[in-house]
Amino acid sequence: MSDAGNRPIRKRFAEGTTADDLKAYMAPFVATLGYKFNTEDDFVGEVLSSELEILEQTGDVFCPCRIRTGDPKEDAKIVCPCIPFYLKQFAAMRKCWCGLFIRIDVEDGAELIGVIEEPESGVPIDVPVCRVGDLADGQVRHVKIGKQDIALTRIGGEYFALSNICRHAFGPLADGVLDGYYLMCPWHGWRYDVRDGTTDHPDADVKTYHAHASDGEVLITLTV
């Protein structure tokens, strides 16, 4: 039998990948989530250098401040950038765990380095989910924020968010079609009013969330 420990490391980035390569690769993606690299260039360089060392050792750019479990599915949540897996926490802290990425509206990233303070339970948090230009009028987008499974839509320049799960047979509402302010489930056509989550069927209304645009971002308000 072969020894798994002696298997060659399968690298997820090309040989010779540099810190500048990682920055060019990550920056456009995190911008879609409302984040940017920390304003402290020296700190960014140190973190990316650590990630390159981890890449050499493990084959991927795991977050240097989180511990790998050995479970590929769990460890995928700490491959940098890991923002999509911690949208609420990072929105509350205005940065990722280590501070490599900060919210776009943060002017001085130095003050957030090494600070990990999450708000108390029940505090409302505006979570950025996409840029204004990413969602056109009449479109629906699936958004996953922690355990919240949400359908986000834009109608007449306004944003509406409601539970993504139809109460009939658990169909994905984000795959449905809009008819005015009504979102029709793609499976059986149940119609939900995106403004308040109501439907004509008894005991089948869905939860809604406040959604709005600010500084070019679309945000959904949730509680931690």
Of 112, 145, 168, which residue sits at a domain end?
A: 112
Q: What tens digit of pLDDT does each residue of 178-208 get?
A: 999 999 999 999 999 999 999 999 999 999 9
Residue 119 is assigned to a structural domain of this protein: no
| Interval 99-107 mean pLDDT | 95
Residues 70 and 157 in one domain: no
How far does CA 14 lie from the centroid of its chain? 25
d(CA 194, CA 210): 11
Residues 86 and 9 in one domain: yes
Residues 104 and 35 in one domain: yes
Residues 99 and 177 in one domain: no
Whole-prediction pTM value?
Answer: 0.84
CA distances from 218 to 1, 126, 135 (A): 53, 9, 9
Residues 90 and 137 in one domain: no
Alpha helical stretches, state H, 32-100: 41-58, 72-75, 87-93
Residue 117 is assigned to a structural domain of this protein: no
d(CA 203, CA 13): 50
Q: What tens digit of pLDDT does each residue of 19-37 get?
A: 999 999 999 999 999 999 9
Straight-line distance from the first to the last Cα atom of the chain, in angstroms, rounded to the nearest whole number: 48
Residue 118 is assigned to a structural domain of this protein: no
Q: Is the Cβ–Cβ distance between 220 and 129 less than 8 Å? A: yes
- Is the sign of the CA dihedral 159, 160, 163, 169 positive or negative? negative
Look at the chain and report how many structural domains it folds into.
2
Expressed as residue numbers, the domain containing 35 is 3-112
Residues 108 and 128 in one domain: no
Q: What tens digit of pLDDT does each residue of 62-90 get?
A: 999 899 999 999 999 999 999 999 999 99
